[in-house]
Amino acid sequence: MLRPSVLLALCLCTCAIGLRAQAQKPAIAKLIPATAKIAIGDADEAPQLQIDGERTNGKRIDLTGEAKYAVADAKIVRVDDTGRVFPLANGSTTITAKHGELAASIPVEVKGMETPRPINFANQIEPILTKLSCNSGGCHGKIAGQNNFRLSLLGFDPELDYATLVKESRGRRIFAADPDQSLLLLKGAGVLPHGGGKKMDVGSEEYKVLRRWVATGTPFGSDKDPKIAKVTVQPVRRAIERQAKQQLAVYAHYSDGRVEDVTRRAQYESNETEVATVGESGLVSTLGATGQAAIMVRFSGQVATFGAIVPRSEEPVKFDFDESNVIDKFTAAKWRELGLTPSEASSDEAFVRRVHLDIAGTLPTVEAVKAFLADKATDKRAKLIDKLIDSPEYSDFFANKWADVLRVKRRGEQERAQGTFAFHGWIRDAIAADKPYDEFVREIVCAIGDEVVSPPTVWYKEVQTPEQFVDDLSQVFLGQRLRPVPPPPVREVEPGRLLGPRRLLRPRRQEGDSDGGSPQQRAESKGFDLHEVDRQHREQAERQSRRDEGPRWPGTDCHGRRRSPGHARRLDDRPEEPVPR
């Protein structure tokens, strides 16, 4: 057991090491705003500030969440602790960001508060539905919808979604006379029971935009409205320390040249959650692992990426590495970016063994090893590599690798033997002749004719459908997956089960009738055509949903019955009290 004095000494040593490491970090020399000036042109806009701190060694870190903000004229804008700017009135002012003794100023200009920009469904409403996961594959975006409410997957069909929200089920989801009582808002805010749970708060930004859309008559927008051309993220790439944060800012670029901050309306996803995670506000947090992560940013069908580099060491690493080709230059640059140091060069004995196995797939002979060790030339390793590449063993070895990738096999069919051997020989000859990769791929993809004359046609024996062709072509030759996303499975219902509500229409059983057989068999034995009955039932439902498209009195349905608040009940559940006359 360690004595208390020993434990105290260890704790003091650990604290001293931590303080020394903290003191070794270069000091912050100045604050740099990512945006020189902020222009707000609409009451719904709330741009995201980004404040960088530049160290004395030139490296930048994010200080957006640590800085303190002050506004010269608090009647124009306000800034929260995360650096988000909210407009209050038209005018110009200055925001000052402070961090310790350092400060930076950002001018702000606000206009258009008295005339909000008209809402466009595809540009403003659809991204909210996507952000809240309403049109995701696990909710209303699946092919069968959810609880008789279906949206297009990820909002790829705004016209369908608009018709579903505004016109389907006699417009029960929207209540323009009292927007707060619309089912769209009541269920989304959790005021009424919702199978998907609470998606937003009453009074939140999403709620305000949806409410204004309903209050202004649920406009869809005009064909002349600007379209979103692209989405950009700032910064695009940055080296971040471990256990640190980086605030992103996302901008939507419209076809008319306007740029809008959509940081809070975009969606974020990290491909390496062990290296870096990202929140709904675009705040990236690095963990304790070293590596790199790509943060995917999506908004209204557009995609941008942010590259997070988490180096092993904060200080630049120094190493000696002979960059003899283009690949070596990129490799060494990536090592320096991640703070990695390559291992020492291997010995001649290890090198001659490894290079024979990697290039020729065989072990070197005793004579080859002795000759290589006795060679005193400085470029003997490069000469050995060239010699092995020119050897027939290299062509045989890599022909086998390509044959596995291209699935050159007989599958136990003797009649395929000739074509299989011919294709394998064609691959070996192409490698031996150092055929360029583009020609190699073109001759395989565009192969026609008999397999004896054109052996690459054998590839098409394994690739028979367009889906297989695209899948193999993208993975084998491009290194990418282009496989289409399958739709969610739809549970099939046998026609007999659709008869349930209509069992009262069934003729009475006569004496001697059998109860055996499936519902479909029993119905057919009574003279029912289930498919015709189901067709008539669907047509009746469609006629009912289209009935009375004209105007209605506020608070009543098409039959003159008083609606319950928010349309919480289905109109056809049971009759309600008529409106007093």
Domain count, the chain: 4
Chosen domain end from 54, 81, 110: 110
In whole angstroms, give the CA distance from residue 571 to residue 552.
14
pLDDT at residue number 500: 46
Q: Is residue 283 part of a domain?
A: yes
The predicted model gives 435-442 an average pLDDT of 93
Q: Is residue 557 part of a domain?
A: no
In whole angstroms, give the CA distance from residue 90 to residue 76.
6
Round the average pLDDT of the chain to a whole number and report it. 81
pLDDT at residue number 537: 56
Chosen domain end from 79, 110, 141: 110
Query: Token pair for residue 341?
Result: 């140091």
Residue 503 is given by DSSP the state: G
pLDDT at residue number 285: 95
Q: Using 50, 70 and 90 to split pLDDT, how confident is the model at 18?
A: very low
Q: Using 50, 70 and 90 to split pLDDT, how confident is the model at 555?
A: very low
pLDDT at residue number 390: 93
Angle (nearest 5°) at CA 231 between 157 and 68: 125
394 lies in the same domain as 298: no
Q: Is residue 67 part of a domain?
A: yes
Q: 3-state class of 578 per DSSP?
A: strand
269 lies in the same domain as 383: no
Confidence check: pLDDT of 398 > 90? yes
pLDDT in tens, 61-117: 999 999 999 999 999 999 999 999 999 999 999 999 999 999 999 999 999 888 888
Q: Which one-letter amino acid corresponds to residue 521?
A: Q
Confidence check: pLDDT of 185 > 80? yes
The predicted model gives 498-525 an average pLDDT of 46
Prior bond of 235 cis (ω within 30°): yes
Q: Using 50, 70 and 90 to split pLDDT, how confident is the model at 57?
A: confident
Q: Rounded to 5, what percent of the chain is helix, strand, coil? A: 35, 20, 45
The predicted model gives 400-416 an average pLDDT of 84
Confidence check: pLDDT of 176 > 70? yes
Is residue 115 left, alpha or beta, with left meaning phi > 0 and alpha meaning psi from -120 to 50?
beta
| Phi, psi angle pair for 195, to nearest 5° | -60, -30
Chosen domain end from 251, 281, 310: 310
382 lies in the same domain as 466: yes
**Residue 50 burial by CB count (10 A; 0-12/13-18/19+): exposed, middle or buried?**
buried
| Phi, psi angle pair for 493, to nearest 5° | -115, 125
259 lies in the same domain as 356: no
Q: Is residue 145 part of a domain?
A: no
Q: Is residue 295 part of a domain?
A: yes
pLDDT in tens, 326-375: 999 999 988 888 888 888 889 999 999 999 999 999 999 999 999 999 99
| Phi, psi angle pair for 342, to nearest 5° | -65, 155
pLDDT in tens, 205-244: 889 889 999 998 999 988 888 999 999 999 999 999 999 9
Q: 3-state class of 107 per DSSP?
A: strand
265 lies in the same domain as 382: no
386 lies in the same domain as 467: yes
Which structural domain range is residue 254 located in?
Answer: 228-310
Give me the CATH number covering residue 254: 2.60.40.1080
Within 10 angstroms of residue 248's Cβ, the number of other Cβ atoms is 27
- Higher pLDDT, residue 484 or 246: 246
In whole angstroms, give the CA distance from residue 14 to residue 344.
32
Q: Using 50, 70 and 90 to split pLDDT, how confident is the model at 569?
A: very low
369 lies in the same domain as 470: yes
473 lies in the same domain as 363: yes
Torsion angle (degrees, nearest 10) of CA 10, 16, 19, 21 = -90
252 lies in the same domain as 371: no
Q: Is residue 243 part of a domain?
A: yes
435 lies in the same domain as 354: yes
Confidence check: pLDDT of 22 > 70? no
Question: Pairing mode, if any, of strands 237-239 and 302-310?
Answer: parallel
The predicted model gives 441-462 an average pLDDT of 88
Q: Is residue 168 part of a domain?
A: no
437 lies in the same domain as 390: yes
